[in-house]
Structure formats: C-alpha cells, structure tokens
Amino acid sequence: MQSHDVGIKDAVKMYGDFKAVAGITLDIKRGEFFTLLGPSGCGKTTLLRMIAGFNTIDRGTISFGENVINHVPAHKRGIGMVFQNYAIFPHLSVADNVAYGLKARKVPGSETGPRVKNALEMVQIAELAGRMPNELSGGQQQRVALARAFVIEPSVLLMDEPLSNLDAKLRVQMRTTIKKLQRKLGITTIYVTHDQEEALSISDRIAVMKDGLIMQVGEPTQIYKKPENPFVAGFIGVSNFLDCDIAGQDPNNAALTVAGYKIKDVRLSRPFTGKGKIAARPEYLSLDAEGIKGTIELSTFLGDFIEYEIMLESGQAIQLNEYTKDALSVKPDGMEVRVALDASAIIVYGEGGEVLT
C-alpha cells in the first residue's frame, strides 16, 4: 500500500469538560518519521488513538492524503500499530501472530507464508517463527509486534511508547532497528514517546506537546538549539534558566545583565527593554577568569565530559559541562570559579516567555 501524508486540522478531544487534545494542527509528510513528544498526560496517546480510529474526534479533521478519515473505522484506515505492552496473542505462535492481520484482511494463503517470513527477517527473528510468546524475551516480543505491524504494509505506522518496557541497552538497539526499517520502507510513521533523547535520535521532526497543545514543531537540531519557549528549553535536554535585565533599544547591539555580569553584543529579533530570562545549555557555559562568581558544589567525571554543579552567588544552582579533552584536570568541589556565558549560545526570553533571539 502507498504511504500517505497525514493532515491534522484543529483536532479536539474532550473527556467531559476536559480537553485532552485542545486544538492541534499538524502536517506530517509522506514517508516522514514524526514524533509526538511530551510529559505524561499531555495528550499524546489520545491524539494517536484519534489518528488510528480508536478514539472519536470531537472537532476538526484528520486526513490521510486527500481523504478526511474522521468517520472511517479503524480497520479500514490501513494503519499498523505498535503498543508499549506489545499486545501479541499469547495462544498463537510467532508466525501465527504475524499472519493474523493478513488473515483478517483475507490475503490468500499462498501469499501469507512468504510475507510472514519476510516480515520476520526484517526484524531479525526468522528463526523464532515456531515459538510461543511465553518463550520469548521482551525484546523478541517487541520484534514480533513490529513484524505484525509491518506485514500488512500499512499506509501509516503508529507507535505508542514501543520501547518503554525494554532495558536501556535494548532500547537503544531497537530504536536503531526501527529507524533503519522505517527509512528502508518509507512508511509515514507517527511515534509517541516521553523520552527526549529517544525523540531526538529517531525522528525527522518532533512536535513537543504540553496540556493538549503543540509547543513547537521542528527538526531535532532546531528543537534543541532554538527552543521557541521556556517549556521546550526545559523539557529537551538540560537548560539553565537565569533572570536577566535586557537593554535592547538597538536590537542589533543589545546588552544583558545576568547576576551583575554584563553580556554585550547580543542580537535580538526586536527592540526590547526590561526583565527577561536566558536559557543556556551546560555545554555552552565555560569556566573563565571573567564571568558570574560561583562555587563548585559537585564535580562528576563522566568519561567524555565533566559535569559541574555550581552554586552562583545569587543562590541559584546551575549545571556546566566541560569536555574532558578540553580540560586540564577535574576541578575539585568547593573551588571558586567564574562562569562565562557566550552571547551567541544563549536564548533570551522576554516576559511571558516570548523568544527574543
């Protein structure tokens, strides 16, 4: 089956008076690996189930290609679905689990065997075809669930936290498997996770959600480097937030004052004078002779980098990372330091969270 683009227009889902999905608009391109990322309870599963046809849609439209599918039943949408808990049938063998969807779609028996074999080979468990689910590890069960979704050649693949039940190492292995398969097959994929590292590593684009709304849509590097609001900056990776005074009558040559320390040559998107906030990633801060005074509370050597927890004079704790290759030694706890901020690597927010850089 040919893969579709997926259009979501002002979609709303109500539970009583509560808007679990509060007006979401997204254009997901054909063949794209698109991720819904956000904290628990923000409406990811609800939206995915609306796309799948397991939830009704209270307002707005969802389309596959040209066709609005609001009222198309789930089994006629041509979707493949993978769940967190695998949801494979315990009384059927691996091969029969994978064949199930083909039988339900009345695919001729002569075609079923080769397609099941092919799907099991794709996820590298061909040798397990005759096993029962209780004879499989968690990772193997998840591969069965993947094969079962791929075998029907869905037009859209939906995955809801498919790796959360696996241990950390297997999770990283499986996400590579999923990404490679998705690339090879070119199936439009909508993936749900609350794990930001997983989202950054696997996606073509990410929509960050909060309270049933989209906070930002973008490629992983955009989301990480240019978070459009403090929520995204705080949710993706680690950000240090510091209060600042902004003197930006001339937006091309603004100055910030952070904890008594002046940062010059800041470019703003518009003139702004007043109070604001900056967000700075730990790897963009450095220890220098000039900068905000603080004391190292805890230094942690992590191999490729050293993580410092620093208490600023203002009483605020921040995190600063130094690459081991750039460091002469690990600085001891209790050492007084100065934290320098690079004007080009910070994001400035005005009051209310408006992004100014």
Ligand X SMILES: Nc1ncnc2c1ncn2[C@@H]1O[C@H](COP(=O)(O)OP(=O)(O)O)[C@@H](O)[C@H]1O
> Is the distance from CB of 42 to CB of 212 less than 8 angstroms?
yes
Residues 122 to 161: which contact ligand X by CB under 6 A?
Answer: none
Burial grade of 262 (CB within 10 A; 0-12, 13-18, 19 or more): exposed
Interface residues for ligand X in 288-347 (CB under 6 A)? none
Tokens 């990322």 belong to which residue?
A: 37
- Residue 176 token pair: 């590579």
46's contact among Mg ion, ligand X, none, with CB below 5 to 8 A by partner kind, is ligand X
Which x/- pattern, by CB under 5 A, does the window 41-60 give for Mg ion?
A: ----x---------------
Q: Is residue 43 at the binding interface for ligand X, with CB under 6 A as the rule? A: yes
Binding partner of residue 218 among ligand X, Mg ion, none, CB under 5 to 8 Å per kind?
Answer: none
The residue from 4, 33, 37, 46 that contacts ligand X (CB under 6 A) is 46
* Residue 292 tokens, joined: 């905000």
Least gap, CB of 327 to ligand X (angstroms):
39
Number of residues in contact with ligand X under rule CB under 6 A: 10
Using the rule CB under 6 A, give the single segment among 43-51, 66-74, 260-268, 318-326 that binds ligand X.
43-51
Q: Which is nearer to Mg ion, 45 or 141 (CB)?
A: 45
Pick from 334, 191, 314: which is nearest to 259 by CA? 314
Residues 10-39 that bind ligand X (CB under 6 A): 15, 20, 38
287-291-296 Cα angle (round to 5): 50
Residue whose C-beta lies closest to Mg ion:
45
201 and 173 in contact (C-beta within 8 Å)? Answer: no
> Shortest approach of ligand X to residue 155 CB, angstroms?
23
**156-160, strands of its sheet edge to edge:** 79-82, 156-160, 188-193, 33-37, 205-210, 213-218
141 forms part of the interface with Mg ion (CB under 5 A):
no
Count of CB atoms situated within 10 Å of the CB of 251: 15
**17, 40, 221, 326: residue in contact with ligand X (rule CB under 6 A):** 40
Min dist CB 211 to ligand X, Å, is: 9
Strands 205-210 vs 213-218: parallel, antiparallel or unpaired: antiparallel
Compare residues 45 and 239 and give the one whose CB is closer to ligand X: 45
C-alpha to C-alpha distance for 106 and 346, rounded to whole angstroms: 57
Provide φ and ψ at 305, rounded to 5°: -145, 165
Nearer to Mg ion, 164 or 286 (CB): 164
Determine the length of the chain: 357
- Which of 2, 25, 41, 250 binds ligand X (CB under 6 A)? It is 41
Closest C-alpha to 191, from 213, 218, 163: 163
Stretch that binds Mg ion, among 38-46, 133-141, 256-264, 277-285 (CB under 5 A): 38-46
Helix (H, G, I), strand (E, B) or coil at 237: coil
CB of 82 to ligand X, least distance (A): 15
Quote the CA–CA distance of 332 and 310 in Å, as a whole number: 11
Output the smallest distance, CB 212 to ligand X, in A.
Answer: 7
Contact positions vs ligand X (CB under 6 A): 15, 20, 38, 40-46
Residues that bind Mg ion (CB under 5 A): 45
